[in-house]
Amino acid sequence: MIRVFLLDDHEVVRRGLVDLLEVDGDIEVIGESGLAQEAIRRIPALRPDVAILDARLPDGNGIDVCRDVRAVDSSIKGLILTSYEDDEALFAAIMAGASGYVLKQIRGTDLVDAVRRVASGQSLLDPAVTQRVLERIRHGVEQPREFASLTEQERRILEFIAEGLTNREIAGRMLLAEKTVKNYVSSLLAKLGLERRTQAAVLATRLLGEHPH
């Protein structure tokens, strides 16, 4: 049984999604919310397999919820649901560790399929797009000049952030203390003139806009 949490500020949309997801009997909606802050509290406690997160909410957005929830429990998969095709949000979703990014115009059966695929560990993000973001961070001849100030260690950590890893997972990969990783993250965000991880996506977007491949 695939356990799902729904975050959408429209009750009618949530009702429709519950009916749609539970029709075949292999998916159960174990919780729902219309507010970002409530979802950030409830999702880690309920431990769903997949959280379907509306990108735009009255008190925040699903991408930040995805990042905050995965920082607590990286086994929870995030599926961002949005009304708009927006490059900046797509990159932010990649940076927040989301497994998928789907438009609300998606056919019902396709959404159910997306939930099943994400629950099984697949990523629905276009690998070519994810790869381009990583390539820019790694080599990027056309990197923003801010990137030049990063140390080798900070650059590696930025790569891991782009792959959606939490500080704890990065610490494991780099054999560092989690607190050390946290300090590196603060330092690299400061150097890039950013306040949050997701904003690093904006740099990548600007870059890809200027240098299409």
Q: Indicate which CATH number applies to the domain containing 175.
A: 1.10.10.10
Residues ≥6 apart with Cβ < 8 Å to 124: 79, 99, 100, 101, 102, 114, 117, 118
The residue out of 108, 139, 170 marking a domain boundary is 139
Domain that holds residue 85: 2-139
Helices (H), the chain: 11-22, 36-46, 62-72, 87-95, 108-119, 127-138, 152-162, 167-174, 178-191, 200-210
Give, in degrees to the nearest 5, the angle at Cα 107 between 68 and 23.
80
Whichever domain contains 20, its CATH number is 3.40.50.2300
The residue out of 139, 162, 190 marking a domain boundary is 139
Kindly state whether residues 29 and 133 are assigned to the same domain: yes
C-beta of residue 130 within 8 angstroms of C-beta of residue 93: no
Kindly state whether residues 54 and 15 are assigned to the same domain: yes
Kindly state whether residues 27 and 10 are assigned to the same domain: yes
Q: Averaged in consecutive runs of 10 residues, what is the pLDDT profile of the chain (213 residues)?
A: 96 94 95 96 97 93 92 93 73 83 85 93 76 63 63 83 81 93 87 70 52 40
Kindly state whether residues 19 and 91 are assigned to the same domain: yes
Kindly state whether residues 65 and 114 are assigned to the same domain: yes
State residue 177's pLDDT score: 94
The residue out of 139, 157, 184 marking a domain boundary is 139
C-beta of residue 42 within 8 angstroms of C-beta of residue 19: no
Kindly state whether residues 122 and 198 are assigned to the same domain: no
Length of the chain: 213
40 burial type by CB count under 10 A (0-12 exposed, 13-18 middle, 19+ buried): buried
Q: What is the pTM of this model?
A: 0.65
Kindly state whether residues 114 and 17 are assigned to the same domain: yes
Kindly state whether residues 130 and 36 are assigned to the same domain: yes
State residue 210's pLDDT score: 46
State residue 97's pLDDT score: 86
Kindly state whether residues 81 and 178 are assigned to the same domain: no
C-beta of residue 119 within 8 angstroms of C-beta of residue 94: no
Q: How many domains does the chain have?
A: 2
